[in-house]
Amino acid sequence: MRIVIFGANGPSGRLLTRRALDEGYEVTAFTRHPLDFPITHDALTVAGGDVGDETAVSDAVRGQHVVLSALGGVYTRKSVSVYSVGARSILAAMREHGVRRVACVSSSATVPNPNANETFFFGRVLQPFVTNVLGRTLYADMARMEALVSTSDTDWTIVRPSGLFDADEVSEYDVSAEPLPGRFTARMDLADLLLRQAYDDTFMRSPASIITRVGVPSVAQLMLKEAFGK
């Protein structure tokens, strides 16, 4: 099976690429910086380009069986468009080449996820600050991407992790079409779930929320590393 991975050079994309290669897939890794891509393999093709370049995206999608998007961005007060622009290019290329299956990474922050068991500080102060202030433009574009993907005629899955953190291996995680209570998702677990979409239709034409249950960091650790880069 041939898989193209967009956002392959990001933290989650690299994990996804390595897992796909280890499991015997032929992989095309699409990245803006192909010369910096750290993975080599006989079954790997590294394609350079920007997701806004419809010709480059079309070339990468041609001949593939599955499209996986791990596109990512950073918190900024500036307008963000990488998710929605990427979705438009990817969906157009899929229509052009008759590719049906696509799974893309979004965030649990794109949908209301009330949790009665959360502390007042996290639920009423910290989480709204991250969602509505630090990540306002980021999550707004994720929502635009979700709207494009979910109304397309593809066999789509939108994967919604919570706060991402690094882990050494795949761990115990929960997945549901409904929002899940929980604060954290390991990138390794996210990569595992994304790759499963290549052969598992459980969440076809559905969102898939994912929460890691073991080895999670504290809120303070996650905020320092993810929101402020420390």
pLDDT in tens, 57-81: 999 999 999 999 999 887 777 889 9
Report the pLDDT averaged over residues 26-53: 97
Position with higher pLDDT, 225 vs 88? 88
CA separation for the pair 45, 42 (Å, rounded)? 8
Q: What is the dihedral of CA 46, 198, 159, 30, to 10 degrees?
A: 10
User: Which residue(s) pair with 156 in the sheet?
Assistant: 102
Q: Is pLDDT above 90 for 92?
A: yes
User: Which residue(s) pair with 46 in the sheet?
Assistant: 29
Report the pLDDT averaged over residues 78-101: 96
> What does the mean pLDDT of the chain come to?
89
Report the pLDDT averaged over residues 9-22: 97
CA separation for the pair 141, 182 (Å, rounded)? 23
What local confidence, expressed as pLDDT, does residue 220 receive?
60
What local confidence, expressed as pLDDT, does residue 77 receive?
77
pLDDT in tens, 168-223: 999 999 999 999 988 899 999 999 999 999 999 999 999 999 999 998 887 666 55
What local confidence, expressed as pLDDT, does residue 116 receive?
46
CA separation for the pair 157, 145 (Å, rounded)? 12
Cβ atoms of 161 and 103 closer than 8 Å: no
CA separation for the pair 168, 199 (Å, rounded)? 24
What local confidence, expressed as pLDDT, does residue 221 receive?
60
Could you give all domains of the chain from N- to C-terminal order, each with its CATH number?
Answer: 2-227 (3.40.50.720)
CA separation for the pair 134, 131 (Å, rounded)? 6
How far does Cα 24 stand from its chain's mean position?
21
Rounded to two decimals, the pTM is: 0.89
Residue 230: band (very low, low, confident or very high) from pLDDT cuts 50, 70, 90: very low
